[in-house]
Amino acid sequence: MVKRQFPRPSELAELMRFKAPTLDPVRRRLDGALTIYDLRDIAQRRTPRAAFDYTEGAAEGELSLARARQAFEDVEFHPSILRSVPVVDTSCTVLGGPSALPFGIAPTGFTRLMQTEGEIAGASAASAAGIPFTLSTLGTTSIEDVKAANPTGRNWFQLYVMRQREISYDLVRRAAAAEFDTIFFTVDTPVAGARLRDKRNGFSIPPQLTLGTIINAIPRPTWWINFLTTPKLEFASLSATGGTVGELLDSAMDPTISFDDLAIIRDMWPGKIMVKGVQTVADAKLLADRGVDGVVLSNHGGRQLDRAPIPFHLLPNVVREVGADMEVHLDTGIMSGADIVASIALGATFTLIGRAYLYGLMAGGQRGVDKTISILRDQIVRTMKLLEVENLAELGPQHVTQLTRLVPITRSAVDAAERVTAR
């Protein structure tokens, strides 16, 4: 039998040490976020549905995005044991320069619609963390203002080739003048994908006040106050707005983009050049001979061609074929530091985060982006320590198995099935 006694006052006092309340509402909600999915939930509560769905959504049935995320979840790690790893080094060299972490902020369009601080928050957070920031052609902050927000850090520019080529050429010249060090030449957007959430929500640029948006805005007054009391949205390339995102993209993009356009931009640009949106091994090999510095394996976050290849599944084969000749970067579906570690282990030089960054932005502006980076940094460090590797260079294929759900049907398997059916 356990002997019972009345608790002493001193013992009760030890149990009654209450944490001081946090009066700052932004800090209070961000302190409670432990994962990127937690930030996503906060973002959804604070952002009008049309703007949130623009970030969250993908093309058509959204299969490409779901499969990309599932691919990361279907990772099995293989840790070492009994290695002394008290400290890990998360830094790397990417495109000839340093990054404190093996990821940077991906280009995102219409970013100030998500939260009014927009790209300035992203560039400032990237500067503080020592990682690169990428500005989209369809960003809502100018090249020059991003440079001002991140004057000593690394700025990259994502380029669409527009129907009016001179618009794209002028952007290249401006990015060079602002000392951006890398161009991401994007090849997966000849036309806009069918983003059905945007169509169902009537999402337009700029947002239109309707009965539905007004009702949806009632529990989210801060977003609308910020939107209506801050400077009018301005785009890096578009001189006029009006219409759905798909209509804007289709009016601006050119489905005749070709290798000739890549050659022109390569000749114009003094820095590094990556081709973003590569989705086959064959195209990666073709680009290895075209004077580019690397490729970004990406299906545009699942926002273009639904049922497109899964970048993470492509990674080992692309690295095997071209990894010795150029850098291989990866995006689409990254929601944790473990996803980033798995990508580096399978040969990626670098990774890019898009939605994870925007969830943080919507949750708390620049402080929310800082929180995104902090969460991912902590997860990377913890995963590396549990794998018992001291630095990124020690990560390798021996640390990761890609568990298989989607297995292509081979010709021999089809023939065998047909023979069984014929019997």
Residue 112 annotated as lining a ligand binding site = no
CATH number of the domain at 156, please: 3.20.20.70
- Confidence band (pLDDT; 50, 70, 90) for 249? confident
Retrieve residue 336's tokens.
């944790």
415 pLDDT band (50/70/90 cuts)?
low
Alpha-helical (H) ranges within 57-208 are 63-73, 111-114, 118-129, 143-149, 165-177, 196-201
Query: Is residue 342 in some structural domain?
Result: yes
Whole-structure pTM value: 0.92
Per-residue confidence (pLDDT) for residue 272, from 0 to 100: 98
pLDDT band at 199 (very low <50, low <70, confident <90, very high): confident
pLDDT mean over 199-224: 76
| Catalytic one of 78, 300, 313, 399 | 300
Among this protein's residues, is 399 annotated catalytic?
no
Give per-residue pLDDT as tens, 311-347. Answer: 999 999 999 999 999 999 999 999 999 999 999 999 9
Sign of the alpha-carbon torsion through 196, 200, 204, 207: negative
Predicted pLDDT at 239? 63
298 annotated as belonging to a binding site for a ligand: yes
Would you state the pLDDT for residue 14? 77
In a domain, 414, yes or no: no
Domain assignment present for 407:
no
Residue 108 is assigned to a ligand binding site: yes
Inside any domain, residue 324: yes
Q: Coil, helix or strand for 158?
A: strand
Distance (Å, whole) CA 38 – CA 108:
21
Residue 348 lies in a domain: yes
Domain count, the chain: 1
Question: Is residue 63 situated within a structural domain?
Answer: yes
Q: Which domain holds residue 233?
A: 26-402
Does some domain include residue 83? yes
Q: How far, in Å, CA of 355 to CA of 58, rounded? A: 11
Q: Are strands 350-353 and 272-278 parallel, antiparallel or unpaired?
A: unpaired
Residue 420 pLDDT = 57
Asked if pLDDT for residue 380 goes beyond 90, the answer is yes
Residue 417 has pLDDT above 60, yes or no: no
pLDDT band, residue 411 (cuts 50/70/90)? low
Instruction: For residues 230 and 404, give the distance between their C-alpha atoms in angstroms, rounded to a whole number.
Output: 48
Residue 6 lies in a domain: no
